[in-house]
Chains A and B, each alone.
Chain A
Amino acid sequence: MKKPEAAFFSRVLMMGNEAAAEGAIRAGCQCYFGYPITPQNELTAYMAKHMPERGRVFIQAESEVAAISMVFGASVAGARAMTSSSSPGISLKQEGISYMAGCQLPAVIINVQRGGPGLGSIDPSQGDYFQATKGGGHGDYHIIVLAPASAQEMHDMTMQAFILADQYRIPVMILADGRVGQMMEPVRLYEDSPPPAPPKPWALTGAKGRPPQYIRSLFMEERALEKHNYELQACYRQITATEIKAEETETGDCEWLIAAWGTCARISKGVVQKARAQGIKAGLVRPITLWPFPHERLARLARRSQVKALLVVEMNCGQMLEDVRLAVNGAAPVRFSGYPGGRVPTETDVLNALIELTKTNHHGKVEQPAV
């Protein structure tokens, strides 16, 4: 991902939800369409106040389905457009997300996850990893998924999301959680003019001085859909080749590798320090792009001879776990420490799981079933 160049910053204390909203505004988001749902309401309220002030579009839609369809329309017209919601609302948006993937339309969708399935709870969760990274809607597609762990990252990643969306003509999702959305932290705000959008000759702006054009995801002509899907896959390969992002902490000599994303990655970072203080050589790998997933990075780390086992930490029952196991492919045992009840794990919870792991015999690095 390219960083916006020549940016100047000012530092303010902001809630994650507000930091994301301000990030969208500073990224040049022209249209925002929302619908109330906890724990992301501050984002919608922030946009309701600040978008009209700047002469930009804010609509509280009649449903999440309508909101994503309005994003579709604004994107069709060439505008930078965004919606936000939380898990149950994101399920409703999958229709529009699939259509935008099919129509190759850029858009930004923020999911401040809450517990599930169903109505679940309003507490933080990471239960939508599968939905976000494995499609979510129908059809053979991917969207880019970014996982922030701080208010600063809510700001920065929302900006990056607009850049990536325009660059690859693809929906980009910010997969946050209630914790990241609700907490306040100092945020350095991007203070340059919005990163320029690339030309959008495909946008529907009226056929003035050019042949009329259309945007569609329906391909009934012989082999047209096959060709279209190959084009989409080529785009996904390009994204996978250039946009994978992961962060490593203390992985140089680590024997016990934690893999975690979002809020759990942040907690695990603290665990690494605590474990090392006790003489356990722990390290952390944190995927920042959940799709594309850093499979090769994980595989490389797991194959190192000193790595004895991996511990995947998530606020769910084991979702990124599957990608980690695919990446590791038996090179090291992969264990799991999961928290599916809307409770954010403490450092002690994760540290205990790690200590437990170190007590297990890992001769020959045979893969063991997840706990």
Chain B
Amino acid sequence: MKTPTSGYQRPASLTDAAMHYCAGCGHSSVHKLLAEVLDELEIRERTVGVAPVGCAVFAYFYFKCDISEAAHGRAAAVATGIKRALPDRIVFSYQGDGDLAAIGLTETVHAANRGEPITVIFINNTVYGMTGGQMAPTTLAGQITATSPTGRNPATMGCPIRMCELLNTLEQPYYIERVALDGHGGMVATKKALLTAFQTQVSGKGYSFVEVLSPCPTHFRCSPQDSLKFVGQKMAAQFPVRIFRKEGVPVHA
């Protein structure tokens, strides 16, 4: 393993392309952290990523590793196909909340249930960003979105789905953790979680899942600073930030 590069260098696993993400968006931060992990584990040249449909759809312009598109929600199934065909490669999917927890819930749950030795990175920012800030499965109760204009009403729209908790009911996953990208501490924690997840795969241990509570200032309708507070306070209150599964064993809160 390579020594982590110091602070503000561009990871070798990122291309030179300027990212299209909004100011204050969590995607660009997670991209950088993920690229650092690929660098540090020296796996860039044997990694195949799967991009979602959603804001991160252009991930293949930003990562300097092979990346495939997937239909909306199907990333875990596509990653399954790649990993089964090439078991010695490192395969990850990178998905948002609509992609992973709504249309792709089936694929997500069953890939985890089979214990596919892939790494699933779940960016939870409580909204469909790309399509204009619609309600997601993880939208908080009362939260205003384009399709819940008077706030999400649990009586008719359901409550936010907690994916880590849901997947933790399964036997096969090896590593499940939720982190919050709510500032410097959150960046450090996210990097550590991503590193653990990829190490899990590199050492052939099994399925790893990292949920990142992530800011979307555009659709939170607030400043980047306030969006970090939303993540660290409102979101973290609904989605407990902790390790759920470690070395295949459930971790109790």
Contact = CB atoms under 8 A, between A and B. Distances in A.
A/B contact in complex, CB under 8 angstroms: yes
Contacts of A213: 66
B86 A217 contact: no
Interface residues of A, number: 40
Contacts of A79: 85-86
Contacts of A74: 81-82, 84-85
Nearest to B86: A77
Nearest to A213: B66
Interface stretch (B67-75, B193-201, B229-237): B67-75
B87 to A, nearest CB: 9
Most central of A30, A61, A63, A95 by chain B CB within 10 Å: A61
A169 to B, nearest CB: 15
A167 to B, nearest CB: 20
B216 interface: no
A259 B71 CA distance: 38
Given A62-B110, A66-B110, A74-B85, A204 B67 contact: yes
B57 to A, nearest CB: 6
B76 to A, nearest CB: 8
A103 B77 CA distance: 16
B66 A207 contact: yes
Contacts of A70: 77-78, 80-81, 84
Contacts of B70: 69, 72-73, 99
Instruction: Name A's interface SS.
Output: mixed
A314 B63 CA distance: 51
B201 to A, nearest CB: 13
B81 A76 contact: yes
Most buried by A among B63, B71, B83, B110: B71
Nearest to A76: B68
A31 B86 CA distance: 11
B171 interface: no
Interface string B135-159: 0000000000000000000000000
Contact of A204 (B44, B68, B71): B68
A65 B47 CA distance: 25
A317 B107 CA distance: 36
Interface residues of B, number: 37
B69 A212 contact: no
Nearest to A102: B69
B192 interface: no
A215 interface: yes
Contacts of A206: 45-48, 65-66, 86, 89-90
B81 A63 contact: no
Interface string B191-227: 0000000000000000000000000000000000000
A123 B70 CA distance: 34
B73 to A, nearest CB: 8
A120 to B, nearest CB: 24
A33 B106 contact: no
A75 B66 contact: no
A31 B109 CA distance: 21
B229 to A, nearest CB: 33
B104 to A, nearest CB: 9
Contacts of A214: 51, 60, 66-69
Given A31-B85, A205-B48, A69 B74 contact: yes
A56 to B, nearest CB: 9
A79 B79 CA distance: 13
Interface in A177-233: 204-209, 212-218
Contacts of B68: 72-73, 76, 204, 214-216
Nearest to B66: A204
B64 interface: yes
Interface of A: 30-31, 33, 57, 59, 61-63, 65-67, 69-79, 81, 95-96, 99, 103, 204-209, 212-218
Given A66-B110, A73-B78, A74-B85, 6 more contacts: A57-B85, A69-B74, A69-B78, A69-B81, A70-B81, A215-B67
Q: Which 3 A-B pairs have the closest CB atoms?
A: A73-B81, A69-B77, A214-B60
